[in-house]
């Protein structure tokens, strides 16, 4: 098959893919801007905001294309959640062609932003920058297997001061039913919605920003889901075989005691304290996947423990689960800790392999930001923020389907079309050059 023929097939598949998504935008007139927007996101270019994309997609009528695409993303009344559901339905067969869904990955992604007027902007930790700075943060839920992963939920985290400010809310178009939620609370709502939609279940993976939240872990278990989530070194737990003391004996007066107890001689330890006291025989070197240049391996230990955080408010001990630790040989102390409700007979190598599958979401957002302009949206409103993200994920979903058609030893995917040269008369807004 020649390159021209491959490109032609890809273009026809793109048209069919967009046609499937059109049902989610609720109006036939929105098909053209939907196609143009997704195409603009996939075409080469340093900036994926509306005007530069309009210039690349329709260089002969930039202003009209810009107005159409801007209205579609910023103002048109269609559901980003319905769009993501349509993308999931279209892309899932391509992902599962290489194996079933193994994991649901929860994460959040930071989008650096200047100014203070864009919805949800606040000085907060931004993973992209690795520090506190002005940014927007979105909580995400992705489905994954060994072949690919796809975000299926994407929701802006609205800081408390934003949620409580009616003036800013109204200017940004924040829906009245959106209240302040912590990131773990948003993630649990996304998980509940995915279950309600019948999404194939997987092990829930998350970093310590979520795993440290006991209510989050408890919520996952109540929903019947298995998890492997990061925790902090200060997390409290009982040593293997230990548990809190039973309720005090009843004195015969008042209400009988019902809560479990700690005392100075019988109390939990921290995750770090537990890890550094494990015997040498507990540690094993595990290789879990092939990296860019070499196989990835490190030293791990895993034991069965009971989490202890605030268990004195309970009438019975928390169930046992896995406590897993990573301690590379060239480090002075352990570097990562996890709690997991995976089966108690699971081998250590399998525990490590499924827990480390969380790397896929990092690759996804690297591609979404660097290649598809996830952080390039210049509007300030709630609707546009979520519409732009849903369309970036839609474009990414198409690329996943194309990649799934190429065998591992086959050639790289080719673009569905090339960017058209801009006319000499085109000048971007703010340009100092005369027209």
Average pLDDT over residues 243-264: 85
The token pair at 106 is 């929860």
Asked whether the whole model's pTM tops 0.95, one would answer no
Burial 412-434 (b: 16+ CB within 10 A, else e): eeeebeebeeeeeebeeeeeeee
82 vs 1, higher pLDDT: 82
Counting residues of the chain whose pLDDT is more than 90, the rounded percentage is 74
In this predicted structure, the answer to whether residue 432 has a pLDDT above a threshold of 80 is: no
Highest mean pLDDT among 62-66, 84-88, 129-133: 84-88
* CA–CA gap between residue 277 and residue 221 (Å, rounded): 29
In this predicted structure, the answer to whether residue 127 has a pLDDT above a threshold of 70 is: yes
Supply the pLDDT for residue 5.
39
What count of Cα atoms within 13 Å lies in the side-chain half-sphere of residue 226?
16
Supply the pLDDT for residue 418.
55
Give the model's confidence band at 423: pLDDT under 50 very low, under 70 low, under 90 confident, else very high: low
Supply the pLDDT for residue 254.
77
Highest mean pLDDT among 41-45, 129-133, 217-221, 294-298: 217-221
Identify the weakest region by mean pLDDT among 100-114, 134-148, 245-259, 281-295: 245-259
DSSP 266-287: B--EEHHHHHHTS-GGG-EEEE
* CA–CA gap between residue 384 and residue 193 (Å, rounded): 22
CB 414 within 8 A of CB 3: yes
* CA–CA gap between residue 231 and residue 307 (Å, rounded): 11
* CA–CA gap between residue 335 and residue 235 (Å, rounded): 14
Counting residues of the chain whose pLDDT is more than 70, the rounded percentage is 91
Q: What is the mean pLDDT of the chain?
A: 90
315 vs 227, higher pLDDT: 227
pLDDT in tens, 150-197: 999 999 999 999 999 999 999 999 999 999 999 999 999 999 999 999
* CA–CA gap between residue 144 and residue 422 (Å, rounded): 39
pLDDT in tens, 372-391: 999 999 999 999 999 999 99
Strands 227-231 and 203-206: parallel
Burial 99-113 (b: 16+ CB within 10 A, else e): eebbbbbbbbbbbeb
9 vs 190, higher pLDDT: 190
The token pair at 352 is 């490590």
Supply the pLDDT for residue 414.
46
Give the model's confidence band at 429: pLDDT under 50 very low, under 70 low, under 90 confident, else very high: low
CB 136 within 8 A of CB 119: yes
Supply the pLDDT for residue 4.
37
pLDDT in tens, 10-27: 889 999 999 999 989 988
pLDDT in tens, 186-203: 999 999 999 999 999 999
334 vs 264, higher pLDDT: 334
Supply the pLDDT for residue 407.
57
């Amino acid at each position: 098959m020649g390159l021209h023929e491959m490109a032609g097939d890809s273009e026809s598949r793109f048209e069919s893919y967009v046609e499937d998504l059109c049902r989610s935008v609720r109006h036939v007139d929105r098909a053209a801007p939907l196609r143009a927007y997704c195409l603009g996101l996939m075409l080469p270019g340093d900036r994926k905001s509306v005007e530069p994309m309009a210039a690349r997609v329709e260089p002969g009528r930039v202003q009209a294309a810009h107005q159409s695409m801007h209205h579609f993303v910023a103002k048109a009344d269609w559901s980003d959640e319905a769009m993501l559901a349509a993308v999931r339905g279209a892309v899932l067969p391509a992902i599962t062609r290489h194996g079933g869904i193994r994991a649901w990955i929860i994460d959040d992604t930071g989008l650096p932003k200047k100014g203070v007027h864009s919805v949800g902007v606040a000085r907060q930790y931004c993973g992209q920058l690795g520090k506190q700075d002005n940014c927007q943060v979105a909580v995400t839920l992705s489905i994954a297997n060994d072949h690919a992963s796809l975000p299926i939920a994407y929701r802006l985290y609205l800081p408390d001061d934003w949620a409580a400010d009616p003036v800013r809310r109204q200017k940004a178009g924040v829906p009245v039913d959106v209240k302040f939620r912590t990131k773990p609370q948003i993630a649990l709502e996304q998980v509940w919605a995915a279950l309600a939609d019948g999404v194939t279940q997987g092990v829930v993976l998350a970093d310590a920003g979520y795993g440290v939240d006991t209510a989050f872990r408890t919520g996952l278990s109540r929903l019947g889901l298995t998890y492997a989530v990061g925790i902090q070194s200060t997390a409290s737990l009982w040593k293997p075989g230990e548990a809190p003391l039973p309720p005090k004996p009843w004195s015969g007066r008042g209400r009988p005691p019902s809560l479990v107890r700690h005392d100075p001689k019988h109390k939990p330890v921290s995750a770090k304290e537990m890890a550094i006291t494990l015997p040498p025989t507990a540690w094993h070197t595990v290789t879990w996947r092939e990296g860019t240049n070499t196989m990835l391996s490190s030293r791990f230990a895993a034991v069965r423990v009971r989490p202890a955080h605030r268990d004195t408010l309970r009438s019975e001990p928390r169930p046992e689960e896995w406590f897993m630790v990573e301690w590379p040989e060239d480090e002075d102390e352990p570097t990562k800790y996890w709690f997991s409700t995976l089966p108690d007979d699971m081998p250590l190598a399998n525990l490590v392999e499924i827990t480390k599958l969380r790397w896929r979401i990092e690759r996804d957002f690297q591609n979404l930001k660097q290649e598809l302009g996830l952080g390039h949206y210049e509007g300030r409103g709630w609707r546009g923020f979520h519409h732009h993200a849903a369309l970036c994920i839609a474009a990414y979903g198409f690329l996943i389907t194309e990649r799934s058609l190429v065998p591992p030893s086959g050639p790289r995917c080719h673009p569905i079309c090339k960017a058209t040269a801009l006319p000499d008369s085109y000048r971007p807004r703010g340009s100092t050059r005369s027209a």
